């Protein structure tokens, strides 16, 4: 195995299970910090702000793509898997960032986009030249039907058919996203091996793990069978479960275009590669409507697949006990020894405060309540940049949109730019301290009012730091079992316990006060969770609206 000084730095931590229960901070590099005034965040900017991230008390960072790309889909269309796009810097900038992160005790995970690449990648340029070249079968090509239509009914997530006609080969090629993002053919072992070598490139540089974009999209049905419609009687898998409700993508049950059983074999090969290196990890993104949590269980079972996965189950508008408890219980019922990673926000969905705020809510308090709830769940966690400032979705005008998804479905769907606007560091500085140039997306005035330098005692940022410190002090919160207790209405109560500690958690998701009666023989006293007013009185827990309680059990 090839080694580097950076890899040796990463390997000094002997805890191979560091990822289990870890808190991961997601960085969207083009919106985090610009260092050269071109209006786009970059890797030196990330390095500049690593001390801030470390101060939050997180364990790792996840960097969204920074690879060479035409940027049709903001870097999720990769044209060179083994280099840094010049807008983000150089490989040396990456190495410097990695070294500084490790010096601060932060693990570094990077986004691997393996299911598809850019149509500007040399592999695709060669593949489309003819039907008999060396890479002719590296992508998913298919002949048209006799009437010239695509071979089946598969749809693109970004709108329209998932097939694009190529006049040179006189065939269609598959693209589950943009037409400029052709799907790689994972049925070809040479493709698998080539992709794994790109993963090895970054392992040799010393990265600690990978977030696998659209991990259940790798394989397609080799018979190209059409997908059936979703059952309208199944709310969990109906329209909108796999896409916003204005997108017809959600009208299909994607039995044949993704989540194929062959994926398990490739994930074993991926894990075997990671296991050649010390203390590396992986988290897969799974999006498949009602099947997502079962797929997470399937992909993380045992010790030869992915370490963990996350889904979109908690990234929607539902803010209820039934929703949160249901997602956790479905996963716990499906999995034996696999692991999940929960998140409330990321770069693909509206920020969770915007989704959950009601009239009269204090955004800072809802942010504090949300992180208290998230950190109490069994699993690892992802925090998306800016949520610790209680940022809400920015309002981006149509003429400023860059997201192809939003442009395609405007005005019914505004896309993802509203959660991707630049991070705000200094309220009094131009563009919130993000850049000295013109930012690639406008900086929201409302966001500048919540910038890092304005977040004093009692702020959302202060609460995040306190609650993440609280979680880090209790191993039962990180890796312990979870057992739900009986509760009525919008009260959620559960125990987290390991061999050394038992903790009781009670959350009131209503905006009005309520009480919860302790089970017989469960005496508790002081509320341990910082910043909340809920209290115990005899056998009763008194909770205000959006209140939280935690106590140690004997």
**Tens-digit pLDDT profile for residues 78-130:** 999 999 999 999 999 999 999 999 999 999 999 999 999 999 999 999 999 99
pLDDT at 5 over 70: no
For 3-7, 130-134, 202-206, which range has the lowest pLDDT when averaged over its residues? 3-7
Do 372 and 507 lie in one domain? The reply is no
Interatomic CA distance for residues 59 and 282, integer angstroms: 14
Residue 231 banded pLDDT, cuts 50, 70, 90 = confident
Closest CA to 511 of 390, 326, 359, 343: 359
- Residue 487 CA to residue 529 CA, distance in Å, equals 20
Please confirm, yes or no, whether 276 is among the known catalytic residues: yes
Q: Which domain CATH number covers 500? A: 2.60.40.1180
Banded model confidence at residue 232, pLDDT cuts 50, 70, 90:
low
**Cα–Cα distance for residue pair 529/512, rounded to 1 Å:** 20
Phi-psi region of 346 (alpha: psi -120 to 50; beta: other; left: phi over 0): beta
| pLDDT for residue 320 is more than 60 | yes
Inside any domain, residue 480: yes
- Helices 189-205 & 91-103, crossing angle to 10 degrees? 60
Residue 78 in any domain: the answer is yes
Same domain for 394 and 529: no
Choose, from 190, 276, 453, 481, the residue flagged as catalytic: 276
Shared domain check, 103 and 191:
yes
* Statement: residue 497 has pLDDT above 70: yes
For residues 459-483, average pLDDT: 97
Are residues 114 and 246 both part of a single domain? yes
159 part of a folded domain: no
505/493 Cα distance (integer angstroms): 6
Dihedral, 270, 89, 1, 105 alpha carbons, nearest 10? -90
Looking at the domain assignment, is residue 374 inside a domain? Answer: yes
Between 34 and 520, residue with greater pLDDT = 34
pTM of the model: 0.95
Q: Which residue among the candidates 111, 213, 364, 417 is catalytic per the annotation?
A: 213
Q: Structurally, how many domains does the chain consist of?
A: 2
Do 64 and 202 belong together in one domain?
yes
Alpha-carbon span 237 to 59, nearest angstrom? 34
338 plus 481 within the same structural domain: no
On the question of pLDDT at 455 being above 60, the answer is yes
Residues 342, 408: one domain? yes
**pLDDT at residue 241, as a whole number:** 56
Please indicate, yes or no, if residue 138 is contained in any of the structural domains. Answer: no
Same domain, 327 and 409: yes
The DSSP call for residue 27 is: E
Name the burial class of residue 497, with classes exposed (0-12), middle (13-18) and buried (19+) by CB atoms within 10 angstroms of its CB: middle
Kindly tell me if the per-residue pLDDT of 1 is higher than 50: no
In contact, 380 and 374? CB cutoff 8 Å: no
Domain boundary among 417, 451, 485: 451
Domain presence at residue 135: no
Q: Are 408 and 496 found together in one domain? A: no
What share of residues in the chain are helix, strand, coil (percent, to 5)?
Answer: 30, 20, 50
Instruction: Give the chain's mean pLDDT.
Output: 94
- End of a domain among 399, 416, 451? 451
Do 317 and 285 touch, CB atoms closer than 8 A?
Answer: no
Residue 341: predicted pLDDT: 97
Q: Write out pLDDT tens, residues 347-388.
A: 999 999 999 999 999 999 999 999 999 999 999 999 999 999
Q: Is the pLDDT of residue 484 over 90?
A: yes
401 shares a domain with 336 = yes
Q: Are residues 444 and 507 in the same domain?
A: no
If pLDDT is split at 50, 70 and 90, which confidence band does 195 have? very high
Could you tell me the two tokens for 359?
A: 């009239």
Candidates 406, 368, 375; CA nearest to 390 is 368
Any domain includes 137? no
Average pLDDT over residues 169-195: 98
337 within a domain of the structure (yes/no): yes
Domain of residue 219: give its range. 5-119+185-451
Which CATH number goes with the domain that contains 377?
Answer: 3.20.20.80
Averaged over 308-336, what is the pLDDT? 93
Q: Which of 451, 485, 506 is the last residue of a domain?
A: 451
CA distances to 70, 130, 139, 412 from 167, rounded to whole Å, are 22, 11, 16, 33
As a residue count, the chain comes to 554
Q: Residue 3: is its pLDDT beyond 80?
A: no
Contact 363, 375 (CB under 8 A): no
Is 213 annotated as catalytic?
Answer: yes
Q: Edge-to-edge, what's the strand order for the sheet holding 540-543?
A: 514-517, 540-543, 535-537
Q: Which of 92, 118, 127 is nearest to 6 (CA)?
A: 92
- Cα–Cα distance measured from residue 503 to residue 478, given in angstroms and rounded to the nearest whole number: 12
Distances (CA, A) of 225 to 152, 220, 309, 333: 7, 10, 27, 31
- Regarding whether 38 and 72 lie in a shared domain, the answer is yes
């Amino acid at each position: 195995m090839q080694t580097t000084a950076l890899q040796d730095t990463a390997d000094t931590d002997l805890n191979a299970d560091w990822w289990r229960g870890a808190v991961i901070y997601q960085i969207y590099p083009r919106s985090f910090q610009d260092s050269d005034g071109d209006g786009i965040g970059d890797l030196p900017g990330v390095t500049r702000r690593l001390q801030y991230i470390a101060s939050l008390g997180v364990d790792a960072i996840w960097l969204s793509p920074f690879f060479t790309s035409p940027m049709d889909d903001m870097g999720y269309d990769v044209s060179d898997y083994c280099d840094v796009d010049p807008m983000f810097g150089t490989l040396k900038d990456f190495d410097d960032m990695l070294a500084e992160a490790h010096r601060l005790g932060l693990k570094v995970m990077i986004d691997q986009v393996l299911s598809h690449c850019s149509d500007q990648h040399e592999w695709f340029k060669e593949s489309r030249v003819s039907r008999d070249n060396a890479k002719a079968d590296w992508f998913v090509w298919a002949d048209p039907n006799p009437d010239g239509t695509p071979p089946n009914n598969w749809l693109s997530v970004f709108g329209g058919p998932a097939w694009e006609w190529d006049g040179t080969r006189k065939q269609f090629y598959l693209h589950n996203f943009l037409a400029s993002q052709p799907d790689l053919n994972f049925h070809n072992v040479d493709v698998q091996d080539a992709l794994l070598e790109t993963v090895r490139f970054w392992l040799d540089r010393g990265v600690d793990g990978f977030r696998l974009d659209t991990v259940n999209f790798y394989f397609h049905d080799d018979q190209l069978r059409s997908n059936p419609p979703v059952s309208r009687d199944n709310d969990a898998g109906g329209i909108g479960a796999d896409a916003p409700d204005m997108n017809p993508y959600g009208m299909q049950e994607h039995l044949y275009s993704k989540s194929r059983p062959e994926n398990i074999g490739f994930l074993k090969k991926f894990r075997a590669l990671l296991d050649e290196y010390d203390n590396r990890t992986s988290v897969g993104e799974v999006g498949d409507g009602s099947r997502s949590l079962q797929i997470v269980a399937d992909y993380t079972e045992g010790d030869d697949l992915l370490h963990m996965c996350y889904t979109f189950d908690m990234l929607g508008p539902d803010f209820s006990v039934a929703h949160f408890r249901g997602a956790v219980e479905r996963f716990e019922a499906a999995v034996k020894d696999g692991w999940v990673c929960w998140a409330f926000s990321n770069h693909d969905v509206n920020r969770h405060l915007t989704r959950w705020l009601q009239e009269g809510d204090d955004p800072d308090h809802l942010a504090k309540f949300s992180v208290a709830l998230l950190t109490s769940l069994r699993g690892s966690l992802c925090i998306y940049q800016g949520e610790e400032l209680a940022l809400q979705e920015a309002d981006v005008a149509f003429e400023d949109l860059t997201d192809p998804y939003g442009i395609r479905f405007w005005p019914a769907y505004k896309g993802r730019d509203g959660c991707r606007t630049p991070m705000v560091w200094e309220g009094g500085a131009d563009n919130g301290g993000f850049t000295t140039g013109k930012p690639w997306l406008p900086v929201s005035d409302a966001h500048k009012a919540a910038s890092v330098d304005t977040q004093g005692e009692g702020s959302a940022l202060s609460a995040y730091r306190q609650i993440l410190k609280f979680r880090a002090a209790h191993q039962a919160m990180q890796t312990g079992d979870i057992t739900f207790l009986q509760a009525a209405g919008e009260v959620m109560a559960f125990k987290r316990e390991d061999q050394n500690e038992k903790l009781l958690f009670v959350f009131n998701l209503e905006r009005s006060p309520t009480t919860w009666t302790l089970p017989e023989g469960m005496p508790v006293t002081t509320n341990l969770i910082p910043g909340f007013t809920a209290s115990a009185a005899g056998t009763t827990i008194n909770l205000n609206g959006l209140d939280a309680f935690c106590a140690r059990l004997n």
